Structure 1
Amino acid sequence: MVAFGKKLKERQIQEWQGYYINYKLMKKKVRQYAQQIELGTQDRRHVLKDFSRMLDNQIEKIVLFLLEQQGLLASRIAELGEQYDALQKQPDISKMSELREAYRAVGEDLLKLLYFVEINAVGLRKILKKFDKRFGYKFTDYYVKTRANHPYSQLQQVFKHVGIGAVVGALSRNLHELQDSQGSYLSIYDQPTLPLQDPVIHSIKAAVDRLTHSTNFLNFMAQHAFIMQEELPAPTEEHVDDQKYNFMSLLLNLANTFLYMVNTYIIVPTADDYSMNLGAAATVCGIVIGAMAVAQVFSSVYFSAWSNKSYFRPLVFSSIVLFMGNLMYALALDLNSIWVLLLGRVFCGLGSARAVNRRYISDCVPLRIRMQASAGFVSASALGMACGPALAGLLQTKFKIYKLTFNQNTLPGWVMSVAWLVYLVWLWITFKEPVRDEVEENHVPHQSNAENHIDALEEGVKQPLLINPMLTNHVPHQSNAENHIDALEEGVKQPLLITSERKEDEDADQDYDDSEEAPEESRKPANSLRSAYRLLTPSVKVQLLIYFMLKYAMEVLLSESSVITTYYFNWSTSSVAIFLACLGLTVLPVNIIVGSYISNMFEDRQILLVSQIMVCVGIFLSFNIFFPYTQPQYICSGLVMFVSAEVLEGVNLSLLSRVMSSRLSRGTYNGGLLSTEAGTLARVVADVTITLAGYMGVSRLLNITLLPSFFICVISIIATRCTYNSLY
């Protein structure tokens, strides 16, 4: 994994090199501050003041250069506008084509400027996060609060690219008018939904959207998948090996996601009835539903590790285990064993391959369609969540074949067994294992050393490459170089020395994520839950808490729905199934509205806070305290809670990917696994809570299970307020 500082340097535009954020210098200053504070030679207040001044200077340098470049682009567009006016009077097709190319050239330069701004914005976020982590301050909170809302804010210029929009608008309008639709009196302002055909405009729009965290429906849906992208933008699209991506393999991963979600929720409407038929209490349905989540806590880890080596074998294993689990679930009634029922659900959880599905999209799908694939992953999950209860509502029949019972309780198991068997055959025939990338060499010699070594080989001398910092304390680097040249000419063996200064300079390029880790270690992915936990900043922990809260609230609502509605409203299984299916069907429309409109009008952190409050309101309205509990109250409060939680999930995962360490984007213990574990653990706790609360009576079940949801939600809102400015 390449250090962030090196990636930043590699992707800089050479002629603009002096105007980028000096990430290396600022990182050195952070280390110096740490040493000075440790030795007691520097006051903490002075450190904050000095670092703030340095940041202000860096941002001012970036902004002034940005304004200068905007002015140059505006001047070029104005000159081209004059040429266009002249061509309007005396049309010339060849000159019109030249003018169009000139506008495109301006567009390419604008695109470079947008990448310049984005790279600097990422660098600023990284250095602020590094400062907070090293000193344990809330410096980001202070800095953003004091700079972002100031009337002369330069920080807004970097993060909101104030002024670039006017250049983009002028360029888009003129290119649109130079298209084949000449002679029309309509402009882009008359037809705002008209797609612009020029690829330069598409690239600019994508860069602007990414810079402002603006989004559309696909982007917002893809945020739910939590597939982490690369931090720094690349001016050109990455090359994708065709042998690595296969559409049918992607489709099989999406089908696996869909079937697994159907498998999860198809039993919810009938789990309480099935438990009672086996001699258990109705509230044992919480354990029955939650057994799958318990197993998923462990399966997520080994599937994530397995996907480092293969995608096909984990999917085959998943299908077989899920087939066996559903078969046991279906046979539990005839065997009259609650333990077989629970074991079947555990097997289903052990077959959860969602980590593999996510990993395939992240590693094997080309960047140009990765957003669509991620949105497809979320859509498949939402559709499966809706189809599961709906399918259960259709399986209202009863018959026997030999000694096997088929009814509303066992049919979900039989149907899913057949579905996974068909999927296994389809998988075996059509899945194509991606070609794995070759392992890169861990050590690359320094350029000058490599050249000297080649010269030595040409002279017929065997020359060892040695790093000897002890010798460099006594022998100057220049004399070493001269002696080495003499030695090569005479055919004498001479060790290559790397000075301590050069080594120190190389170490400075490393991107430290933890002050106690070695440079090489700090670049590696987390290899254990402990090392992954050490990378979690307060902002990340708060986002994981929010994810835990929303999954807990949703699981309580869904898992106890059959028990609650039967007790209060005497609903049938079909009614419960329709209610749950309707909740699932709200996912896509809500995400269309939020992704296409709301997220473009408000910041992610604003939507995050408001949606948390709405979840809290939904939970509060669900309590049965003073008045008789009614169906409208239950349906409306459940709808508010569920819809708000869905909105919250997308924004939460988007912010989580932004504030999480880059070391958690790869390896077994990645950010996706951590969020999955947090959500799965929430489901387990919720289902256990339902079962335990059931022993206190069904009449108290609703309020007892809602209390933890309300309490956790309030805590998450307070925690969000405390870290609000770090989510900038």
Structure 2
Amino acid sequence: MVAFGKKLKDRQIEEWQGYYIDYKLMKKKVKQYARQIETGGIERRYVLKDFSRMLDIQIEKVVLFLLEQQGILSSRIAKFGEQQETLQIELDLVKIAALREGYRDIGRDLLKLLFFVEINAIGLRKILKKFDKRLGYGFTDYYVKTRANHPYSQLQQVFKHVGLGAVVGAISRNLAELEDRQGSYLSIYDQPTRPLQDPVIDAIRSAVDRLSYSTNFLTFLGQHALIMHEELPMPTEENPDDQRYNFMSLFMNLVNTFLYMVNTYIIVPTADDYSMSLGAAATVCGVVIGAMAVAQIFSSIYFSAWSNKSYFKPLVFSSILLFIGNVMYALAYDFNSISVLLLGRLFCGLGSARAVNRRYISDCVPLKIRMQASAGFVSASALGMACGPALAGLLQLKFKIYMIHINQNTLPGWVMAVAWLLYLIWLSISFREPDRVSHKDLVHDYDTRQVGSDALEKGATQPLLSSEAHQDGEDDDQECDVSEELSEDSHAPVSSLKAAYKLLTPSVKVQLLIYFMLKYAMEILLAESSVITSYYFHWTTGKVSVFLVCLGLTVLPVNIIIGSNISNIFEDRQILLASEIMVFLGILASFNVIIPYTVTQYVLSGLVMFVSAEVLEGVNLSLLSRVMSSRLSRGTYNGGLLSTEAGTIARVIADATITLGGYAGESRLLNVTLLPSLAICILTIICTCLTYNSQY
């Protein structure tokens, strides 16, 4: 990318540089506090108050300039408004065209102002993270709690933009009226869903949405993919990825995602019957289902690394492994071997190319359609999750071909083997490898900047400053500034899981814990559904499939409601906490205590748990992408990989819990497996409350 490594300072508008938050000055202040604390020369209470005052002054400088510029724009709009009244009577087309261009000029100036605010918001978040990391204080929690909720909050002016929204509305309304001058005079307020008619307004509204975290269905859905975007905005559109993007290649990635999710869930309704037919207990289905997730823990890493060099070869290798794995899964019945069954599922997990699918979208899809591609990735996953059990419910056949048995247990393997073989042929014909020159340049750019980054990572284990450094004064400060700019503002990706872990702040760790919890709870619900419903309600494979399909089909409608409405009314952290509580209530309602267990209780509690977890996943990953270091946006060890690993480990532990719970007997399996879910959910609620003000 052209501007991937630019610093905060490089994105500033030159004529406004004196009005930005002085990030460099505040960094020096943080280092000064670190020195004084090391020598015991300052108290914690003084540090919090002194730095708070410094931030207040910096934010006030930004806000006052913002209000001044907003007033100038408003005055220009008012003057144009007076001209517009006259021109609409005269119908002078030349002057109307000039007036329309004048409004667009105001729009472009407003876009500059929005970028000004966004750079300051990013700088503020970065310095809060730096303070907490360097000094070990919960400063973000203290500052946000005392400033953001105050009636005269200037901090809110940086993150919430009511006044700027009014300017956007005025420009939009007037441009719309000029556009419709010869037809209908309906207001934009009468047609809230009308398509935007001017690219300048499109750009402005996108910038406002990004600033205020206002969202829509596609954005909210796309957040589930955790495909992180550039932290620093650009005032002009740059699309170097256009040369690397190919629609059919993107489509092949989405098909791979869909087939893999079908492959994951197609065996869920029949895994218990298949295990028993091979002489194992029904609860061994947990190991059968989880074997795929176990292998995915490792495949995610090597596929992510492989995608640094190629996208086509990993997808080919993935398809071959999945073909072999499904054939082994199907043949296990004729071999009468649970080992072959498990090996088949392990091969399927080793073929998980979801890391490649994510990386292709992140690296090769242009920014202007990346959110739509991310939403497509999530939709393909959700559709595969619903289609898997549905397909299993339809495969109720029983016959033999020579010595090979075809039945409801083996058919999922054969069907998926054929699907992957056809996909492999299609892939070989249709996929186009992105331009490797651009990709190598990008990797080389990463490697160049990695020198400074490694220095910081090694320095994290050393004392903040040596005694000689105290004597070096300003020169040492300057050297430190250079190394910090290289490491923190360059966006260079980390080179190992250990380095990635060092960048995880308490806020990020809590978000990963929440992701672990929701994946654990969902896996318990889905993976043991066939065993539980068979024991309590004597459901057939068809009924289990219908139940799982109904759960899967809730994903898109729920995201439409949350993304289009609720997420624009409440803050993400409010939705986060409310969703966690709803997951807790769903788990609690699922327990079998005293009264006879009914279908109504199971279905309703499962629905509450699953839907709440889906809502939770969207806001969880949205917050995670904001509180996570920008250095985790790309490279092998990216934020998507970390979240995938957290979710996959959760699924592995959940499936193991089901198998181990089987030793307590099927009558106790439900309660035994729900107890860990309940405990982890309570822990996440507590951790969320403790870090609530840091999730900002």
1:719 to 644, 669, 687: 687
Q: Deviations over 1:358-413 (max 9, x none)?
A: 00000000001101100000000000000000000000010000000000000000
Instruction: Give matches, 1:135-214, under 5 Å.
Output: 135-214=135-214
Is 1:598–2:571 an aligned residue pair?
Answer: no
Q: Which amino acid aligns with 2:268?
A: V
Aligned residues: 670
**SS of residue in 2 equivalent to 1:310:** coil
Q: Distance in 1 between matches of 2:555 and 2:248?
A: 26
Q: Distance in 2 between matches of 1:434 and 1:54?
A: 48
Contact in 2 for aligned 1:5/1:24 (Cα 8 Å)? no
Q: Which amino acid aligns with 1:157?
A: Q
**SS of residue in 2 equivalent to 1:400:** strand
Contact in 1 for aligned 2:177/2:185 (Cα 8 Å)? no
Once the 2 structures are TM-superposed, how far is the Cα of residue 670 of structure 1 from its aligned partner? Answer: 1.3
Is 1:555–2:523 an aligned residue pair?
Answer: yes
Q: Distance in 2 between matches of 1:424 and 1:166?
A: 53
Q: Deviations over 1:561-608 (max 9, x none)?
A: 000000000000000001101110110111111111111111111111
Once the 2 structures are TM-superposed, how far is the Cα of residue 520 of structure 1 from its aligned partner? Answer: 9.0
Matching residue of 1:490: none
Q: TM-score, normalised by structure 2?
A: 0.94
More displaced, 174-183 or 254-263? 174-183
Contact in 2 for aligned 1:11/1:234 (Cα 8 Å)? yes
Q: Distance in 2 between matches of 1:49 and 1:2?
A: 41
Instruction: Give matches, 1:470-549, under 5 Å.
Output: 505=478, 507-511=480-484, 524-549=492-517
Call closer, same or farther: CA 1:321–1:110 in 2, change over 3 Å. Answer: same
**SS of residue in 2 equivalent to 1:304:** helix
Instruction: Give matches, 1:645-684, under 5 Å.
Output: 645-684=613-652
Instruction: Give matches, 1:197-346, under 5 Å.
Output: 197-346=197-346
Contact in 1 for aligned 2:241/2:365 (Cα 8 Å)? no
**SS of residue in 1 equivalent to 2:7:** helix
Q: Which amino acid aligns with 1:250?
A: L
Once the 2 structures are TM-superposed, how far is the Cα of residue 522 of structure 1 from its aligned partner? Answer: 8.9
Q: Which amino acid aligns with 1:322?
A: L
Call closer, same or farther: CA 1:351–1:566 in 2, change over 3 Å. Answer: same
Q: Which amino acid aligns with 2:578?
A: V
Q: Distance in 2 between matches of 1:366 and 1:2?
A: 13
Once the 2 structures are TM-superposed, how far is the Cα of residue 526 of structure 1 from its aligned partner? Answer: 2.2
Call closer, same or farther: CA 1:630–1:519 in 2, change over 3 Å. Answer: closer
Contact in 2 for aligned 1:2/1:523 (Cα 8 Å)? no
Once the 2 structures are TM-superposed, how far is the Cα of residue 146 of structure 1 from its aligned partner? Answer: 0.4
More displaced, 188-197 or 104-113? 188-197
Q: Deviations over 1:337-373 (max 9, x none)?
A: 0000000000000000000000000000000110110
Q: Which amino acid aligns with 1:418?
A: V
Once the 2 structures are TM-superposed, how far is the Cα of residue 687 of structure 1 from its aligned partner? Answer: 0.3
Once the 2 structures are TM-superposed, how far is the Cα of residue 525 of structure 1 from its aligned partner? Answer: 2.5
Contact in 1 for aligned 2:4/2:491 (Cα 8 Å)? no
Contact in 1 for aligned 2:88/2:181 (Cα 8 Å)? no
Once the 2 structures are TM-superposed, how far is the Cα of residue 294 of structure 1 from its aligned partner? Answer: 0.5
Is 1:432–2:432 an aligned residue pair?
Answer: yes
Matching residue of 1:643: 611
Contact in 2 for aligned 1:511/1:522 (Cα 8 Å)? no
Matching residue of 1:470: none
Q: Distance in 2 between matches of 1:396 and 1:665?
A: 45
Once the 2 structures are TM-superposed, how far is the Cα of residue 185 of structure 1 from its aligned partner? Answer: 3.3
Matching residue of 1:456: none
Q: Which amino acid aligns with 2:528?
A: E
Q: Deviations over 1:672-691 (max 9, x none)?
A: 11110100000000000000
Q: Deviations over 1:108-156 (max 9, x none)?
A: 1111111111111111011001101111111101100000111111011
Once the 2 structures are TM-superposed, how far is the Cα of residue 183 of structure 1 from its aligned partner? Answer: 4.7
Contact in 1 for aligned 2:34/2:134 (Cα 8 Å)? yes
Is 1:584–2:552 an aligned residue pair?
Answer: yes
Q: Distance in 1 between matches of 2:354 and 2:250?
A: 13
Contact in 2 for aligned 1:3/1:523 (Cα 8 Å)? no
Contact in 2 for aligned 1:248/1:431 (Cα 8 Å)? yes
Call closer, same or farther: CA 1:190–1:673 in 2, change over 3 Å. Answer: same
Matching residue of 2:117: 117
Contact in 2 for aligned 1:389/1:578 (Cα 8 Å)? yes
Q: Distance in 2 between matches of 1:342 and 1:519?
A: 44
Call closer, same or farther: CA 1:721–1:87 in 2, change over 3 Å. Answer: same
Matching residue of 1:624: 592
**SS of residue in 2 equivalent to 1:511:** helix
Q: Distance in 1 between matches of 2:5 and 2:276?
A: 61
Call closer, same or farther: CA 1:525–1:71 in 2, change over 3 Å. Answer: same
Matching residue of 1:570: 538
Matching residue of 2:25: 25
**SS of residue in 2 equivalent to 1:40:** coil
Q: Distance in 2 between matches of 1:289 and 1:190?
A: 52
Once the 2 structures are TM-superposed, how far is the Cα of residue 533 of structure 1 from its aligned partner? Answer: 1.2
**SS of residue in 1 equivalent to 2:558:** helix
Q: Deviations over 1:448-499 (max 9, x none)?
A: xxxxxxxxxxxxxxxxxxxxxxxxxxxxxxxxxxxxxxxxxxxxxxxxxxx9
Once the 2 structures are TM-superposed, how far is the Cα of residue 163 of structure 1 from its aligned partner? Answer: 1.1
Contact in 2 for aligned 1:556/1:687 (Cα 8 Å)? yes
Instruction: Give matches, 1:56-95, under 5 Å.
Output: 56-95=56-95
Matching residue of 2:15: 15
Gaps of 5+ in 2: 450-471
Q: Distance in 2 between matches of 1:69 and 1:562?
A: 62
Matching residue of 1:410: 410
Contact in 2 for aligned 1:389/1:580 (Cα 8 Å)? yes
Q: Deviations over 1:76-105 (max 9, x none)?
A: 001111111222332311111111111110
Call closer, same or farther: CA 1:519–1:406 in 2, change over 3 Å. Answer: closer
Q: Distance in 2 between matches of 1:511 and 1:636?
A: 52
Once the 2 structures are TM-superposed, how far is the Cα of residue 527 of structure 1 from its aligned partner? Answer: 1.9
Percent identity among equivalent residues? 77
**SS of residue in 2 equivalent to 1:7:** coil
Matching residue of 2:452: none
Matching residue of 2:660: 692
Matching residue of 1:468: none
Bigger-Rg structure (1/2): 1
Gaps of 5+ in 1: 445-498, 513-517
Contact in 2 for aligned 1:117/1:161 (Cα 8 Å)? no
More displaced, 306-315 or 431-440? 431-440
Q: Deviations over 1:292-316 (max 9, x none)?
A: 0001011111111111111111101
Q: TM-score, normalised by structure 1?
A: 0.90
Q: Distance in 2 between matches of 1:390 and 1:714?
A: 33
Once the 2 structures are TM-superposed, how far is the Cα of residue 240 of structure 1 from its aligned partner? Answer: 2.6
Q: Distance in 1 between matches of 2:204 and 2:211?
A: 10
The CA RMSD measured in Å over matched residues stands at: 2.0
Once the 2 structures are TM-superposed, how far is the Cα of residue 28 of structure 1 from its aligned partner? Answer: 1.2
Q: Distance in 2 between matches of 1:727 and 1:5?
A: 26
Q: Distance in 2 between matches of 1:718 and 1:568?
A: 34
Q: Deviations over 1:34-77 (max 9, x none)?
A: 11111222222222111111100000000000000010001000
Once the 2 structures are TM-superposed, how far is the Cα of residue 6 of structure 1 from its aligned partner? Answer: 5.3
Contact in 2 for aligned 1:3/1:511 (Cα 8 Å)? no
**SS of residue in 1 equivalent to 2:244:** coil
Contact in 2 for aligned 1:300/1:355 (Cα 8 Å)? yes
